[in-house]
Structure 1
Amino acid sequence: MTESPEKQPPAPGPDRRRRALPRRPHWWPLPVCVVLGAACGLSYGMFKSPEYAATSYALAVAEEGSDPAAAIGYAQSYGRLATSDATLSYAHGAAGEPAAVLRSRVASETSPDSPMIAVTGTSADPRRAADIANAVIEALVVGSDHVAADTGVKLIKFTHAMTPDRAVSPSVPVGTAVGASAGGLSGGLVLLVRPRRKGWTVSAQVPGPATAGEPVTPGDRELVR
């Protein structure tokens, strides 16, 4: 009589092996987005050329016999004209940039309570940034002189833009922090909109009216994974 070979335990099926693998936490998109955002911010800060900004100021002054309050109103108007085609076309020679390029490198700012106009020029070259701001302010002053007899208000140059010594573009640490913050925000939004993984849920079966003495079965109320 031969002995039967020893039976080997059945190999675990694919379903069993799959269940044995650890599950990723449901919040995994958050750290991934933070790391990706920090990497993008770091790359931006390292490879983007620095940007410089310089600001020049002009003051609106009411001429003798004119309403002093009119200077504030005209300052608002001249502030909007700082980025107009007429002003940029006049200023492009002194600024050393074409008018089409100046349109993206000039910004103006006014205050509703002050007749002051601030014109800021930006460029990768600090000296060019100051030249842009001074050229645009000069164009505004010249333009106001042409119509001062009709408006009763003229512009005078208040301060001269100086060559900046520090860039205004984000540094590497700031760019990395901003990128990480944006990545964290994106990861949080992903967690809000993605479907939630099924967890413990309670499935209740409402039994019909039980007769006297009839036991309640465990299936009437069960906890399902």
Structure 2
Amino acid sequence: MTENPRTARPSRLRALPSWSLVAAGVLAGGSLGGAYGVLKPPAYTATSYVIAVPTDKSDTASALGFAQAYGRVATQLAVLGDAQMWAGVPVNTLRNSVRTETSPDAPMVSVSAVSPRRADAADMANAVARALIQHANETKDDTHVELLQFSRAAKPSAPSSASAEVTGLVGASAGGLLGALALLVRPRRRPEEELVRPASVPGPAVAADAHRSL
């Protein structure tokens, strides 16, 4: 009797041990994650800080408000266009590599740049900070807030991207989770399959002997 191909695959899936799918997912995910961490180039992050200082005609609250505004305009084309001269990279590179953050409690703006090269990361962060200071101080007579360099970006000593060990652990965790999900949706063995055996079909010789005995 031939086995139906459509029912053969679910039967084989049900025959696999419960832990095999999870183990296979962990091994596959860990291998892929580790390979990704090894093959991907490292990324370095450098951060420069600028601070908004009120003049005699302003106060700390005004400086805090302008710091929030400066954090939003730091990645605009007007600032990046001037920063590219000091960074030595195109505007599109600055737009894709530079991020800014502000604090709700302190009138400070952090300018971070990410690059595969340590020197480029520091140069881009310092260039954008310098251009932002220049643009902000052009209107300080009207805003009564001055923007100053608080801390220059230095060459990072270690990459900020995840190591191969970390990506391998993340991949193993994701693979184990997928294996567990596959285990939940795997066809389960039905009780009748365990208790009832299929009736055997008598062969030609057995059928002939039974007919002669009659």
TM over 0.5: yes
Q: Does 1:99 align with 2:73?
A: no
CA distance in 2, matches of 1:154, 1:29: 62
Poorly superposed stretches of 4+, deviation over 6 Å:
none
| SS of residue matched to 1:104 | helix
| SS of residue matched to 2:140 | helix
Alignment correspondent of 1:170: 162
Question: Of residues 120, 129, 136 in structure 2, which corresponds to 1:137?
Answer: 129
Q: Does 1:200 align with 2:194?
A: no
Q: Does 1:32 align with 2:24?
A: yes
Q: Which amino acid aligns with 2:86?
A: A
Q: Can you list the C-alpha shifts for 1:95-151, whole angstroms capped at 9, x where unaligned?
A: 121111111111111110111111111111101100010001001100101111111
Q: Does 1:155 align with 2:147?
A: yes
Length-normalised TM-score, structure 1: 0.76
Structure of higher CA gyration radius = 1
Structure 1 unaligned segments of length 5 or more: list them. 1-12, 202-222
CA distance in 2, matches of 1:188, 1:181: 11
CA contact (8 A) 1:36 1:180 kept: yes
Structure 2 unaligned segments of length 5 or more: list them. 198-214
| SS of residue matched to 1:114 | coil
Length-normalised TM-score, structure 2: 0.79
Alignment correspondent of 2:47: 55
User: CA distance change for structure 1 residues 146 and 190 in 2, over 3 Å: closer, same or farther?
Assistant: farther
CA distance in 2, matches of 1:58, 1:150: 19
Higher normalized helix content (fraction of residues): 2
CA distance in 2, matches of 1:102, 1:182: 33
CA distance in 2, matches of 1:146, 1:184: 57
Alignment correspondent of 2:62: 70
Q: Which amino acid aligns with 1:197?
A: R
| SS of residue matched to 2:111 | strand
Higher relative contact order (CA 8 A, sep 6+): 2
CA distance in 2, matches of 1:199, 1:120: 59
User: CA distance change for structure 1 residues 24 and 190 in 2, over 3 Å: closer, same or farther?
Assistant: closer
**Aligned CA-pair RMSD:** 2.5
Higher normalized strand content (fraction of residues): 1
Number of aligned residue pairs: give it: 189
